[in-house]
């Protein structure tokens, strides 16, 4: 593990200073939290799996031309990424009804939306990340109109791409949450980059045949088997070496 200075201690990741002032290191922890950290557990190996899955998905998203903060994976738990000023808005893209929208609007879990639905939440743990609309974002200057349009477009493109990618490995992409940040170049101009992570901690993934959940709902709903499900997602993505077992007591993939 790096000996660098901690810049921020998050729920599932620790952010360390990077080798230069434009980069930071994301360290993926084994902590699982739900209900704004009211529920907390350590799931050995979760951080290693999320680092691998997010590394893979961020690279693929970069490949389709969406700017991301991603630079490279450093080791089993760490990624080098560009340092950005995080925009305090969580973008949730939904294809199928699940989670908070089911309760809020009295929907049936599993209902397919007519078209992808984008929601915005204010990123503020103290307030429980409340649902907001575009007018709040513009009015409180959390993002400009142009930035908002750009993030909206990126969100839908990422959704199209990830839906297809997961479909190819027998998984339905139910919904996901993404965050963006501003990256400042030396001339003071800023560009938007997709930031944070994309992993089963912030996506809902259901098996196409069985509808089994393969994401953090296993923890939220006390269903168990979270590590095995994340491992299965990684296996289907082809990013874990075959015929290797995963040690629950260590944070490394072992033979």
Using CA atoms, how far apart are residues 218 and 197, in angstroms rounded to an integer?
Answer: 19
202 lies in the binding site for ligand UDP (CB under 6 A): yes
**Minimum Å distance from CB 140 to ligand UDP?**
19
The residue written with tokens 């903060």 in the block is 69
213 lies in the binding site for ligand UDP (CB under 6 A): no
**Which of 15, 92, 229, 237 forms a contact with ligand UDP (CB under 6 A)?**
92
Q: Which of 23, 80, 41, 38 is nearest to 12 (CA)?
A: 41
Helix (H) or strand (E) holding 154: helix 145-167
Identify which of residues 6 and 127 has a Cβ nearer to ligand UDP in the complex: 127
**Minimum Å distance from CB 94 to ligand UDP?**
7
**Minimum Å distance from CB 245 to ligand UDP?**
27
Identify which of residues 56 and 253 has a Cβ nearer to ligand UDP in the complex: 56
Residues 24-63 that bind ligand UDP (CB under 6 A): none
Using CA atoms, how far apart are residues 88 and 218, in angstroms rounded to an integer?
Answer: 27
**Minimum Å distance from CB 40 to ligand UDP?**
14
Q: Which of 230, 240, 245 is nearest to 43 (CA)?
A: 230
DSSP state of 251: S
**Minimum Å distance from CB 50 to ligand UDP?**
11
**Which of 175, 179, 197, 232 forms a contact with ligand UDP (CB under 6 A)?**
175
Piece of 18-26, 52-60, 93-101, 161-169 that binds ligand UDP (CB under 6 A) = 93-101
Piece of 95-103, 108-116, 226-234, 243-251 that binds ligand UDP (CB under 6 A) = 95-103
DSSP 31-97: EEEETTTTEEEE-TTHHHHHHHHHHHHHHHHHHTT--BSEEEE-SSSEEEEE--EE-SEEEEEEEE-
Judged by CB under 6 A, the number of residues near ligand UDP is 12
**Minimum Å distance from CB 35 to ligand UDP?**
7
DSSP state of 152: H
DSSP state of 125: G
- Site residues (vs ligand UDP, CB under 6 A): 92, 99-101, 129, 175-177, 202-204, 216
């Amino acid at each position: 593990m790096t000996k660098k200075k901690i810049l921020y201690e998050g729920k599932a990741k620790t952010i360390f200073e990077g080798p230069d002032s434009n980069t930071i290191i994301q360290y993926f922890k084994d902590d699982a939290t739900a209900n704004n950290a009211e529920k907390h557990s350590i799931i050995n190996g979760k951080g290693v799996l999320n680092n691998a899955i997010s590394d893979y998905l961020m690279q693929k998203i970069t490949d389709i031309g969406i700017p991301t903060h991603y630079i490279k994976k450093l080791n089993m738990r760490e990624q080098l990424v560009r340092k950005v000023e995080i925009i305090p808005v969580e973008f949730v893209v939904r294809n199928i009804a699940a989670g908070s929208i089911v309760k809020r609007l009295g929907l049936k879990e599993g209902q397919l939306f007519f078209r992808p639905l984008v929601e915005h939440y204010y990123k503020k743990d103290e307030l429980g990340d409340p649902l907001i609309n575009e007018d709040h974002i513009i009015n409180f200057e959390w993002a400009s109109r142009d930035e908002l349009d750009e993030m909206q477009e990126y969100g839908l493109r990422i959704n199209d791409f990830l839906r297809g990618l997961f479909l190819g490995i027998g998984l339905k992409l139910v919904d996901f949450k993404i965050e963006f940040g501003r990256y400042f170049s030396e001339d003071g101009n800023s560009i938007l980059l997709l930031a944070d992570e994309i992993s089963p901690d912030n996506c809902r993934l259901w098996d196409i045949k069985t509808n089994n959940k393969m994401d953090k709902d296993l923890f939220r709903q006390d269903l168990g088997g979270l590590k095995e499900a994340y491992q299965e997602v990684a296996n289907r993505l082809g990013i874990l070496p075959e015929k290797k077992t995963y040690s629950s007591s260590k944070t490394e993939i072992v033979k």
